Structures are given as structure tokens and as C-alpha cells.
Structure 1
Amino acid sequence: MRPVLKSLCLLLLLMASLTFLYLHIWAPKPYATIDLRSRLHRDPGPLLDEQLLAPPKKYAHITFRLKEEVLELLPKNSCKCEVEPGMKLPFQKQLFGQVSSLEFAGAFSPSELPEINSKREQEYRSYQHSASTAPSQSASVLPPKCPSIPIIPLESASTMPLNQANLTATMGTFNVAAEVEGVKVTGEGEMFLSLSGPQLDNLNRQMQFVTYTNTLFHPNTADTVQFATDEHQASFIIHIRHAPTPKLYNPDEYNISALVTIATKTFLRYDKLRVLITSIRKFYPSVTIIIADDSQNPERIEGTHIEQYFMPFGKGWFAGRNLAISQVATKYVLWVDDDFIFTPRTKVEKLVDVLEKTSLDLVGGAVREISGFTTTYRQRISVQAGGDEGDCLHTRQGYHHLIEGFPSCVVTDGVINFFLARTDKVLQVGFDPRLSRVAHLEFFIDGLGILHVGSCSDVVVDHASKIKLPWRKTDSEKQYAKYRYPASGDDSVSTKHSFFYFKNRFKCMTGN
């Protein structure tokens, strides 16, 4: 008996050691807390750099002559919609079209404008914060304008009497907004610009007036400019792109019904869908609910603030998501599965507060199962560059860091099927309609580099029970199970793998 007990003790000791090792490797480590909350934006002011016209004391003694024709092209925050006068030609309207000018403020009465402008400015500042990107050591050009180029002043201990700086571009031309005394400029209007002169201060002052105009246009690309002096060489980037057009929302009142639309996809489960809608109406009686439905024998769901869109039978999970979200007209969309149930803990306002006050694009909640277990499905996703065979996809449970001001919220890469998101950002990523019945993480993989994702554990939705005795299942439930839980050799699984391999260029995947 003793050898058996000894073997059992050794086995338990080994299992405990392995469990400790697993928890040590995979358990979340101490995370930092990062502040993602919005800050007040400083008014942009004029884009034309004031230092061009009012230089530092070091350069105040240097005289220059402004070139008005170049200054007119420099960007300023003072645009006007004015029709330029031109020659009147016979049949001008028929040949070239009617040139017109419209003022959109006329869509509102003078009494409405102050409130409209206040709301618009508030939404614009929120948009600027959510769309902001990390600063970079580069300049940007918005066609057809030309920016002045920020060039670091030269400093040299050289005794050479002549100082020279050269600029070379491949997608645009250089010019100068002013001519500085004592500096020779050659190559204006060309891709190669040379500045030379005996006084280093004068040369530095001249470089402050250098401008760049894009000539080879692409809506989102960059030109690498080479900068060379007698002693040094360097390069910097000029981004060539149109500024993104804002998409602002104007809710009549700042309430959930004006800010949020609830979207879901249903398939053969009308009993659960009706339970979901009833639970929503207990807490949000006027929020719009959008339903995408690809059932074989569709049933019409009646009720106020409900929109139901029918699809071909079995069209699919992600196709339905695309359809539902494409019809959302509010700033935010709350995605829910059709077998969820709202409770007093399903506080959508909390999720709205997170998105309104941070730079996050999407924030997930938590789902409580019938057993009482609650999950957030937080996933960290990363792609490791590979060779000709493709890249490596890695997914791990966990998150990147906590969010200051929201103690129950973290930043991660993937969340559960209960999330609130900025509608325009979800539409930007989209859902691959070829993924029919089994898909979830694929959306967040496609959203890498686009979506800033968070997760809050204090907003919880209940999950309807999945337990049902086999002999009590209806025909619809049996048919649903056939589509929802495919066999291991089902084509849907191999389809997902083929997408990862070809569409995303992954050769393999690791995860837990």
C-alpha cells in the first residue's frame, strides 16, 4: 500500500508544480496604468509659422524679401469659398459647367446656429482626439498646398568661407517663400534645391523659408527628402495625403437613444431574440434595435424602434454583421448576440462614458454564463514578421495596461461578442462575409493597426442557457446546432485556415 501512496504523492506534487509553472507563465503580470482620457485641445491658430515673419533675436538683423506668389500657397486656417472671376466665353456653361459657391450655414436659421455651432465644435474636438496619431519627425503636405519645411539649423566649426545645403526630393519640388540677403538659391521649382552663402546665420534663415510642393500625387504616400551639407547628410519624410474628412454626429439630446444603436444577427432563434428585446426594453425603451436575419422561414419582429433586415438563407454570421452595422446612423453601435439578456448590470452608459472620454475606438464588456462564471475574453494579438513562408500570428489571454480613471477597464486587442464601438471605425474594418458561421477573432485581427480596443469588466450582460436535453430540442434548434457547431472536418474550419494563410499571409498561429 505504501508504494501506491508514495506514487500518488509524487504525482500530486508533479501536478502542483506544473500548475504553478503554467500560472507563472500565463497569468497576467503587473500592468502599468495609462491615462487615455481626453485633454483640452489648444486652438490650432494660423498654420503659417509665425517664426517666418517674426524670427528669433538671433536672426532679427537679417533682411529678406517675401515672395507673395509662394506665400499664397502656404496653408492657413482661413479658407473661403469664392468663385474666381474669369473670361466669359461663348457656351461656357455648356462646355465647362456652371461654377458655383454654396454656404452651408444657410441650412439653419440664425436662431439655431449658435447651438449648432456649439455642438459641432464639441463633436469636432472629440473627433480630433479619437483620430489623433503619434507625433513624428516629419512634415505633411495637403495637395495642392505647400508647407514650409522644418529643417534643423546648421551649426559648424568649419573655417570654410562658403556654407552650402542641398535638398533632393523624388515626388515634389522646392521653392522659397522669401529671398534672404547674402544667400544664393538655385533650383526653385525643381526637385533639387541648393542654398549657399558665406554667413551661416543667413543660410539658416533662408532654410526657414523653404517650401515643398507635391507633383506626383497619391492620396496617402510619402516622399523621402535627402538633406546634405558640406559635412553631413540626413533624410526626413514628407507625408503626402488628404486630411481625413470628419464624420460628426449631431444628437438632439446627449442621451443613449441619440448616441447608441443596438445591432444583432439572428438565425433560427426567434425565442431567444424576443427574450433579448424584452430585456433591452426594460432599461432602454427607445434605443433603436437593428436585426439582420438569414433564417430559412423568417418571422417578422414587431415593435417600435426596431428595424429587421432579411437576407438570403444561411448567408452567414459576418455578412449579417456587415448588413446590421451598415444601417446604423448613430455615433456608437452596441453589438450583442441574439441570446444575450440585459440586466441591471448592463449599463451601456458606462461604455459610452469610456469612449467619450478616451481615445479608444471599441470597448467590450463582460458576459455572465448561466453557471455564474463571467468572461471578458481579453486577447493580446501580435504578428511576428516572417520570410517567404509568411508571418506568425500570436494570441494570448491578457491585456496591455490599465486605463487611468476607469479602474475596471484595460487596453487589449480583442474582446468578447458584447462591445460598444465607434460606428465609423467598425465600418472601416468591416467583417469578411466569407466567414459564415464560426468567426470572431478574425475581425480584431483585421482591425490591428486600426482599432484601439479596450475592455471593462463592470458592464455585464447575461447569456441565455445553452443546456437543453436532446429529446426536447425543436427542429429549429437542431438545425441551428448543425450550422453553429460544425464537425472537425467541416469546410468552414478549412476556409478560415485558408484565409489566414492567403488573405493575411500567416504561415502559423500560436495561442492559449
Structure 2
Amino acid sequence: MRTQRKKGLVGCVVSLILLAVVVRQWTPGVSNVGDSEKSIESVKEKLRQSSLQYLNSYDSIPYHIKRSVTGSLPKNGCACEGDAGQLKVPFGDLLFPRVAAQELGSAAGDPHLEDLKKRRRQAYNSFRRRSQSAADILVVAEANSPLQYPTQGVEVRPKKSTLIPGLGLKHRSRRLYSVNLTASMGTFNVAAQVEGVVVRGEGTMHMNVSSSLLSALNWQLQFITYTNDIFHPNTADMIQFGTDGFQATFTIKIRHNVTPKLYDPGPRGEYNISALVTIATKTFLRYDKLQDLISSIRQFYPTVTIVIADDSEHPKPVTGPYIEHYIMPFGKGWFAGRNLAVSQVATKYVLWVDDDFIFTSNTRLEKMVDVLERTTLDLVGGAVREVTGYTATYRHTISSEEGGEEGNCLHMRRGFHHVIEGFPNCVVSDAVINFFMARTDKVRQVGFDPRLARVAHLEFFVDGLGTLHVGSCDDVIVNHASKIKGMLPWGQSDTDKAYSNFRYPEKSNIQNTLYYFKNHFKCITSN
């Protein structure tokens, strides 16, 4: 009897689980009619902002929304929604894995939350100013050919869908109006079916839309959708759009949103350099000069973190508050040390200095931060003053000229492009001296080629051409420790001699080799 009861109980449990599975599979998905309408209205509003006022004349033409298509279109705003509660059955979490949702930045009762949100909003707006350009704005070419289509500004996320705004036909009177669309990395569909229009090829890479009424055809074109089918995180699909005797091509960008990397500077007031800036340097053997650098920094910035990369053969301890000392393999090199030091920076900005620099009252990091905060620059250099009194900024302009299959031409010239508005002592250039402050994430994005072990500098800016927006200010000055004693044979210590042997090796052709192969240059011109 007990055995039969156990079997019956097990049977009931299994039946409940199977019933739950059936209910879950048969429960129809919720179709949010409001979201579907909002997706279409959002695109229509963008088109109206692009001066395409003719859309208002189509509103009287009947159409029927296809919710199976509009459900995949991007909404005006994402919602933080997880799965609803589920049946409490054994192994429920395994059989029916749920999507969890967690709201961020909604800590109730946090007295500092509003201030945090304000700082976050300001940081994000600054990020958008730096990362977006006029090339991202939707522009529609009015029908002069007689095809009308978007020339730029149409984007879709990988494996997602979007409406194609701005399609139109302005043809003279004829019996039948017809257009064709062809893609190579995605498929077309319609978010709504307009009465009096025939659509062929839905869900394929080739679509034909035709109607005896031009107004109905143009209204139908406002509901054309594109779905990316071939995954690539950053590319574009070339869309062929044509009618009898006319052909046009436009692109749909396929890419993820750029994920911001924002840094919280803390409550506003004067710039908190310790929270915003980390000082990074690379040292090799010269611990006396390194200690002089640290002492001079502490005189003006006692709590700024200093990150030191050290590839000495017998490293000595470098200790003290706010100092991070990282040991590298012996003789690993100049650019490898830069990579290591920058990789450990946790602040918004990194200040690069040589280990034989000396801070003075003219080394005003606040000025560099102010320039970076108030402009779209990624990097700003200062000036280095030698013991002779000469001050150098080492400003260069860099350009690359197409050169065919044999490679391009690299042109480097002393000088700059223009003065920065609001900062009369600062200019825009493409390369600066070896004393600069930069956005940490941008320096990491370019990186330092570790093959350049002994002598290198401009190579970093060549690699960053097109990525880094560079400036230079001649009123932020760091002193250069005297080299005269170390260069005189009778004044050199054993450390000076060992350093010179590594710092000034026999002439190497590694720079030219990298320029030729890695950067695909065939020649360099400079002055």
C-alpha cells in the first residue's frame, strides 16, 4: 500500500512538472502595443526633425501594424524587467531558469544619491561630446534621382532590428510604382502593411515593394525594417535601393553602443588632483634621480599616487605613502614599462613623467586637468625646462598620405594646428614632449609597442593618429635634472656608465622596421 502511495505521489509531482512545462510553452508572449507604436513614432519624429514634413500627408492612409516585427524593434527606452514569479515545484530553478533584474543607482534613503547622479550625468555628457560627431546624425537625401534614402546616421545593434528611416520615391505619374531593396548581411521586413501595396520578399535579403498609388508606396516605405543576421561587432551593410533606371547605395552601421568608461571625481569644488590623477614613470638604475622626482612631487602633491615600473637587474625598494613599485624582468624596456605602469592606473587621468624630472611651482597639474575637463582633448602635454633655461614643448603635426600598394607616406613637421579657445597658452597638435597628462582609457586604447625597448617616443603618437586628440600647453612646466655631470667621463659613476650602455645602444633600425611593416609606411618625411 505504501509503495502504491509513493508511486502515486511521484506521479503527481511529475504530472505537475509536465503541466507547468506545457503552460510555460503555450503561454503567448505579451505584445506591448504601446511600445510598437512608440517605436514607429520615434522614427517618424526623427524624420520630421530632418525637415521631411511630407510624412504628415500619409497619416490618412490605412495601415496595420505587424506586432511580430515591431516587437523586435528598439524601444524609446530599455526597461529593467526580469521574469515574473514561477510555480513552486521541485527543481523549478533548473527546469525554468529565470531572468533576474537589478536596478542600479536606486538606493533608497542615500543622502548622497542625487549628488552622485548629477556627477554621473555630467561625466556622461562629457563622454558623449568626445565620442560623437556630425557623422552620427541622421541625414536623408531628398529625392533628386528620384530615390530618397538616408545617407548617414542609420544604425542597428548586431543581430537586432531597426526601421530604415527616410526611404521614398518621387517619380512622375505612371501605372505602377516599384522599388527594390537588397542587403548582404541582413534581411528586410515591414512593421506594418499599408493597404493597396504589394510587398514581396519579407524576411529575405531582397525585397520588392510596389503599388499603383505613389502615396501608398511611400507610406509603406516608412515601415521597412532591417534585421542584422550575420554577426559582427563593428561593421556596415551596403544597401542597394533602386527603381526602374535608377540605383542608389547607402550604409547601415552594425555596431554595439560604445560602453562609457566614466570616473567619479567626487563632490565638486576645486579639482581634487589626488582623486583624478595618477603619476606614472619608468625607472632603470637611477634611484637617486627617482627619489629626487618623488620628493619634488610630494612637495606639491603629497597624496597623489605614484606608479613606478622598474626593470633594473637588482631592484632596490622604493617605499612611501601612495607609492606603487612594480618590478619587471631585467632590461624589459621603455615602452613595456609604460604599458605596465599605465595598466595599474585607477584614476581618470594619468600623468606621464620621466624619472629624472623635477616638479616646481610651475608644474600645475590643475591646469592640465582643466584643459582636459573643458575640451574634447584626450591628451595634453606640457613643457620641459633644461638647466640651461631652454624650455621645450616638442610639438609636431603628423599626417599620413595614401601611397598605393607599396605603402603610405608619413609626414611629421614641427608645429601645431591652432590655439585652443579659452586657453591662450595651449594649442592643438599631434605629438608633444615626454611630459603629458591623458585620459587613462585612451592611452590604454593606443598602447605602447613593447618592441621599442630603448629609444622611442613619437612612435606612440603615430600609433595614436586618428585616435588621440592631442594638445600642448607651454605654461605647465617640469624641470629636467642636469645631465652634464653624468655625461662627462670623469663625472660618471658606475650607475651612470651602466645606464648609458643601455640607454644609448648601438644604432638600431627597429623604428624603421616597425614603420615599414606594422604601420605600412614606405617613407617618412620630417623636419
The alignment's TM-score, normalised by the length of structure 2, stands at 0.83
Contact 1:48 1:75 (C-alpha < 8 Å) held by counterparts: no
For 2:423 and 2:413, locate their aligned partners in 1 and report how far apart those are by CA, in whole Å. 23
CA deviation vs aligned residue, 1:351-403 (integer Å, no higher than 9, x gap):
11111111111111111111111111111112222233222222111122222
Which stretch shows the higher mean deviation, 173-182 or 216-225?
173-182
Residue type matched to 2:496 in 1?
E
Runs (5+) with no aligned partner, structure 1: 1-45
Which structure 2 residues correspond to residues 15-94 of structure 1 after superposition, within 5 A? 49-50=41-42, 52=44, 56-84=55-83, 93-94=93-94
Are 1:220 and 2:234 counterparts? yes
Which stretch shows the higher mean deviation, 137-146 or 424-433?
137-146
Matched residue, 2:401: 384
Matched residue, 1:121: 121
Match of 2:299 among 278, 282, 289: 282
For 2:199 and 2:125, locate their aligned partners in 1 and report how far apart those are by CA, in whole Å. 42
For 1:261 and 1:48, locate their aligned partners in 2 and report how far apart those are by CA, in whole Å. 48
Match of 2:354 among 312, 333, 337: 337
Matched residue, 1:208: 222
For 2:213 and 2:114, locate their aligned partners in 1 and report how far apart those are by CA, in whole Å. 54
Matched residue, 1:24: none
Are 1:476 and 2:498 counterparts? no
Residue 313 and residue 108 in structure 1: after superposition, are their counterparts in 2 closer, same or farther (change >3 A)? farther
For 2:96 and 2:506, locate their aligned partners in 1 and report how far apart those are by CA, in whole Å. 63
Match of 2:514 among 496, 499, 503: 499
Matched residue, 2:24: none
Matched residue, 1:184: 198
Matched residue, 1:105: 105
Matched residue, 1:154: 169
Residue type matched to 2:348 in 1?
K
Residue 301 and residue 141 in structure 1: after superposition, are their counterparts in 2 closer, same or farther (change >3 A)? same
Residue 132 and residue 47 in structure 1: after superposition, are their counterparts in 2 closer, same or farther (change >3 A)? farther
For 1:108 and 1:250, locate their aligned partners in 2 and report how far apart those are by CA, in whole Å. 20
Runs (5+) with no aligned partner, structure 2: 1-37, 137-151
Q: Give the CA deviation at 1:67.
A: 2.0
Q: Give the CA deviation at 1:422.
A: 0.5
Which structure 2 residues correspond to residues 263-274 of structure 1 after superposition, within 5 A? 263-274=280-291
For 1:128 and 1:50, locate their aligned partners in 2 and report how far apart those are by CA, in whole Å. 21
Contact 1:178 1:206 (C-alpha < 8 Å) held by counterparts: yes
Contact 1:319 1:433 (C-alpha < 8 Å) held by counterparts: yes
Contact 1:367 1:376 (C-alpha < 8 Å) held by counterparts: yes
For 1:181 and 1:232, locate their aligned partners in 2 and report how far apart those are by CA, in whole Å. 26
Kindly indicate whether structure 1 or structure 2 has the higher relative contact order, using CA contacts under 8 Å at least 6 residues apart.
1
Contact 1:382 1:395 (C-alpha < 8 Å) held by counterparts: yes
Matched residue, 1:6: none
For 1:134 and 1:159, locate their aligned partners in 2 and report how far apart those are by CA, in whole Å. 37
Matched residue, 1:9: none
Q: Secondary structure at the match of 1:354?
A: helix
Q: Give the CA deviation at 1:199.
A: 2.1
Q: Secondary structure at the match of 1:352?
A: helix
Residue 90 and residue 284 in structure 1: after superposition, are their counterparts in 2 closer, same or farther (change >3 A)? same
Match of 2:462 among 445, 452, 470: 445
Q: Secondary structure at the match of 1:105?
A: coil
CA-based RMSD: 2.3
For 1:161 and 1:64, locate their aligned partners in 2 and report how far apart those are by CA, in whole Å. 22
Q: How many percent of aligned residue pairs carry the same amino acid?
A: 59
CA deviation vs aligned residue, 1:58-77 (integer Å, no higher than 9, x gap):
22322222222322222224
Are 1:310 and 2:327 counterparts? yes
Contact 1:52 1:209 (C-alpha < 8 Å) held by counterparts: no
Match of 1:139 among 122, 142, 154: 154
Q: Secondary structure at the match of 1:185?
A: strand
Matched residue, 1:292: 309
Matched positions, count = 462
Which stretch shows the higher mean deviation, 55-64 or 431-440?
55-64
Matched residue, 2:437: 420
Contact 2:385 2:480 (C-alpha < 8 Å) held by counterparts: yes
Contact 1:138 1:236 (C-alpha < 8 Å) held by counterparts: no
Residue type matched to 2:264 in 1?
N
